[in-house]
Amino acid sequence: MIASANRRQLMVAAASLAAAGPWVRTRAAMPARIVVGFPAGTSVDLLARIIAPAVEKTIGRTVVVENKPGAGGRFAPRAVYASRPDDALFTVIPGGALTLFPFVYRNNGYEPTLTPVSKLMDVDMGLCVSPLLPVRNMSEFREWLRTPQGSRASYGSSGVGSILHFLGMAVSRGYQADLNHVPYSGSIQMLADLSTGTLPMAFGTVPSWSKFIADGKLRALAVASPRRMASMPDVPTFRESGLDVGVTTWYSLYARPGLPREQAQELHQAVEVVMKQPQVAGQLSTIGSIATAGPAEMASIQQAETALWRDLVRVTGFQPSE
């Protein structure tokens, strides 16, 4: 009788486990993690914490956000790339970690084969100049670049090898100027140098600069996105200004290589519900715009932008570093 009862209990437990789906069957009781390659309080960290409950509900397991800052954000994809299926590691990363970094660093510690799960948002980038610079539009900017002062001017960005660095190189090459790149570890000093005219121009994310543009402390000349921004309809795109540049940076949720397609799709559907909530859009308005996409579309986006950055890095002659 006891053996028979035990067998019945085992059968019931097995049936319940099967009904629960592959997420529960393949994972231990330890918390799952969304690894973020940047400090707490940053844009990527905020995104991870917003979507963590959706991931938790989908996989039936507690999810914690783990910050692993350093190496330009590369610690996070490294951890997920090296994880085992039962580790249940995920990461929220900027697209450049998979589309640009393979051509910027010799040893990333990971391959760009992480499984795309869900695109979360787009962040527009652009060119801003010091209010003391005597240019008010891209036509005047091109003319200024032909002057002795402009042809060898400096531009700021968030760091060597960043998307913003290469955006500056694209503009420099497109306008046949010999611009000097000045990397900044933080935006405070860069904004200070722009306001005093010490730095004539910089490439950055437009939402982070919107207040300074509105206050007249920066002057926006062009945006890198394929279309004009609704918040700045008078600011042209680079393409409208004669440069073949049309790109945004984006944040997405990725999982380990080889995650089954149906699991990735299930996660995307849960995350998309959260991202489309009106309060989330309001919460993230200072970062960028909500732009969701599923695994298949994400794979196509990643492939196209990998080709874009590969070609740009190649023509600039940039030499990869460690």
Task: Decide which of 211, 241, 271 is a domain's last residue.
Answer: 241
Q: Establish if 205 belongs to a structural domain.
A: yes
Q: Cα separations (Å) of 133 from 34, 43, 149, 205, 210? A: 43, 30, 11, 20, 19
In a shared domain, residues 146 and 170: yes
The rounded percent of the chain whose pLDDT value lies above 70 is 91
Task: Decide which of 216, 241, 266 is a domain's last residue.
Answer: 241
Integer Cα distance of 91 and 234 in angstroms: 36
pLDDT in tens, 151-187: 889 999 998 999 999 999 999 999 999 999 999 987 8
> Domain of 132?
125-241
Contact 98, 251 (CB under 8 A): no
Task: Decide which of 209, 241, 273 is a domain's last residue.
Answer: 241
In a shared domain, residues 207 and 140: yes
- Residue that is written with structure tokens 């935006």 in the block: 187
In a shared domain, residues 236 and 145: yes
The arithmetic mean of pLDDT across residues 254-260, rounded, is: 97
Amino acid 107 reads N
In a shared domain, residues 220 and 151: yes
Q: Establish if 311 belongs to a structural domain.
A: yes
The tokens for 195 are: 């306001």
In a shared domain, residues 134 and 227: yes
CATH number for position 37: 3.40.190.150
The arithmetic mean of pLDDT across residues 65-85, rounded, is: 95
In a shared domain, residues 87 and 175: no
Q: Establish if 4 belongs to a structural domain.
A: no
In a shared domain, residues 185 and 212: yes
CATH number for position 194: 3.40.190.10
Looking at residue 119, the DSSP 8-state letter turns out to be E
Q: Establish if 16 belongs to a structural domain.
A: no
Contact 101, 249 (CB under 8 A): no
pLDDT given for residue 36 in this prediction: 97
Considering only the C-alpha atoms of the chain, give the largest distance between any 2 of them, rounded to a whole number of Å.
95
Give the chain's mean pLDDT.
Answer: 89
Q: Which residue, 34, 6, 43, 21, is CA-closest to 250? A: 43
Q: Establish if 9 belongs to a structural domain.
A: no
Q: Establish if 235 belongs to a structural domain.
A: yes
Non-local (6+) Cβ contacts of 141 within 8 A are 127, 129, 135, 221
pLDDT given for residue 208 in this prediction: 85
Question: Three-class SS of residue 305?
Answer: helix
Integer Cα distance of 192 and 171 in angstroms: 23
Which strands sit side by side in the sheet containing 180-183, from one edge to the other?
Answer: 180-183, 154-157, 201-205, 125-129, 219-223
pLDDT of 103 over the 70 cut: yes
In a shared domain, residues 256 and 222: no
pLDDT given for residue 25 in this prediction: 46
Q: Establish if 1 belongs to a structural domain.
A: no
Distance from the first to the final alpha carbon of the chain: 66
State the pairing for strand pair 115-123/289-293.
antiparallel
In a shared domain, residues 164 and 265: no
Integer Cα distance of 266 and 52 in angstroms: 14
pLDDT in tens, 266-279: 999 999 999 999 99
Q: What's the total number of domains in the chain? A: 2
In a shared domain, residues 146 and 225: yes
The arithmetic mean of pLDDT across residues 14-30, rounded, is: 48
pLDDT given for residue 230 in this prediction: 87
The arithmetic mean of pLDDT across residues 49-58, rounded, is: 96
pLDDT of 6 over the 80 cut: no
The tokens for 276 are: 């489309």
pLDDT given for residue 23 in this prediction: 54
Query: With 0-12 CB in 10 A as exposed, 13-18 as middle and 19+ as buried, what is 186?
Result: exposed
The tokens for 166 are: 């290469």
The tokens for 9 are: 């209990």
In a shared domain, residues 222 and 297: no
pLDDT of 15 over the 60 cut: no
What does the DSSP assignment read for 178-227? -PEEEE-SSHHHHHHHHHHTSS-EEEEEHHHHHHHHHTTSSEEEEE-SSS
Q: Which residues pair with 105 in a beta bridge?
A: 321
In a shared domain, residues 92 and 175: no
